[in-house]
Chains A and B, each alone.
Chain A
Amino acid sequence: MGVAVNRERIRVGNGCGFWGDQPDAPILLAQHGRLDFLTLEYLAELTMSILAQQRQRDPQLGYATDFLDVLERLCPLWRDQPNLRIITNAGGLNAISCAERACEIVRRHHLRKRIAIVVGDDIQPRLQELLASGHSLAHLDTGQPLETVIDRVVCANVYLGAQPIVAALDQGAELVITGRVADASLTVAPAIWTFGWSWTDWDKLAAATIAGHLIECGAQVTGGLFSDWTSVPDLANVGYPIAELEWDGTFRILRPESSGGMVTINTVREQLLYEVGDPSAYITPEVIADFTSVTLRALEPDGVEVRAAQGKPATETYKVSIAYKDGYICSGQVVLTGHDAADKARLCADIVRSRLHRAGYEPQEYNVELLGTGDTLPGIWPRTRPPEVVLRLTAWDPRRPVIERFAREIAPLVTSGPSGVCGYATGRPVVREVFAYWPALLDKSTIKPEIHMLST
């Protein structure tokens, strides 16, 4: 395998947990992290549907454009750290365009780099062919056949694994741009490539998968989102996480010494169960990782060592995420004031509904939330009667004109509702097309990832 094959330890840092994460985080992590690999994760479950809309408007788009801003700022650092490799799923639905733009940026900085593009995750053009050859792509939870929504599908992607990224690194890639890839695989790939692990060394693959899972959400393992938030120092400067992996599968979760936040047994325990189903069987394209197998040890002054991970053979399927058009939604807000603010808010909600009814535009779904009174989780938080209430009205309907009419009914509350209405200064709320989520499985044998190389 590649040049780094004899190394015994690598440091993989993740500088981005989702599209919209802190813009300075990747730069600070690359500056202070002493990294071998920098990963940047941009694709949440529904990001692909937003990218599909952008690509529809402009065929040159459909990738996480923020990555290009990050790359621009990383290039000067890359000159000082020539061995740093960057792996990102910023390619989204258009990894080729993303890589071409990345190439231009790297060239402008007079750097000579090899850039790999991983494609093959996008199965939208093949849906009919796959259905015809007996792959049902049935909804993972409901079992419904895809045929029920197929004419409304906007994107369909399999979660690829570490294999094509390892192949790209083998070909000398210093920047790897992928589309949809399992988040943890961004970390698993550099470990496999560096240590030369076998694809059936399940325990080691599980270890790297757990490391990837722990760092994939950025600051969530270094003090962000932590229950005992008052004990976290300097969240403003929270460090982004580093997984320091060893050839035997042992790894440490760390953060740059100069940063804020903290990595403790407790922050690691919380993140270990984040967005997990059965913790003894966390399924990725590489392995089924057993999160209940690991032992954690606190490091001084900060950090956690993770040992003894166990894994089982991977499944025969890839997970697929499909998004399909599902009507229109709009959400608008006003603020009501006074000791009877909650009563006024309820009246406003009734007024809007009744005006929509009179106009013949009653939405199929209508939701009223009196934020501040306990309505984020109705029936769970105790009801309160605060002196001010944010009234949030949300409507959904398959017919766009219904939701457009709803959007026009919020502002009139200012003059034709009860007294004490304020906080309506941001204009008419935006009508948004809804993209619903359709998870499915697909036989791995149907997918052949490809790698294209570019050089600057």
Chain B
Amino acid sequence: MRLYNLALARSGDKGNHANIGVLARSPEIYAWLKDFLTAARVEDYFRSLRPSRVERYEAPNIWGLNFVLYDVLAGGAARSLRLDSQGKSLACALLEMEIPQSAKPPH
């Protein structure tokens, strides 16, 4: 199982930072995701891009978790040497996260 089976996501940039909004597909999944998809787990997943820190905000009204990845864009839209200087592909990448059965994801 991968995260896209459980959630939607969208990412974008603010200067040199990026955010990824993750939206659970049901309230049961949201309750489970709050425990599973911690800021630390997301920071570890993206460690090769060297974010300085990751902060998580909750939006229970839309079953949403918003992750802010600081300093993750290697300079941001104008200055970065990377193709995806605006972090547009980050959401897509996060949705590919493998969910281990041992984490007991909701069906």
Contacts and interface: CB of A to CB of B under 8 A. Distances in A.
A266 B8 contact: yes
B47 interface: yes
B27 to A, nearest CB: 13
Interface in A429-450: 434-437, 439
Contact of A270 (B10, B68, B84): B10
A151 interface: no
B81 interface: yes
Which size class do B's interface residues fall under? 35 or more
A257 interface: no
Main secondary structure of the interface of A (DSSP, over half): mixed
Given A270-B21, A273-B64, A377-B90, A292 B10 contact: no
A46 B63 CA distance: 32
Interface stretch (B31-39, B72-80, B99-107): B72-80
A427 interface: no
B41 interface: no
Given A271-B10, A292-B59, A380-B93, A276 B66 contact: yes
Nearest to B22: A273
B40 interface: no
A141 B16 CA distance: 9
Interface string A287-324: 00001111110000000000000000000000000010
Contacts of B78: 46, 49, 323, 326, 434-437
B93 A225 contact: no
Contact of B10 (A273, A296, A369, A435): A273
A275 B13 contact: yes
B21 A367 contact: no
Given A272-B21, A277-B68, A376-B82, 7 more contacts: A269-B63, A272-B64, A365-B81, A366-B81, A371-B83, A395-B81, A435-B78
Interface of A: 44-46, 49, 141, 225-228, 266, 269-280, 291-296, 323, 326, 329, 331, 365-367, 369, 371, 375-381, 392, 394-396, 434-437, 439
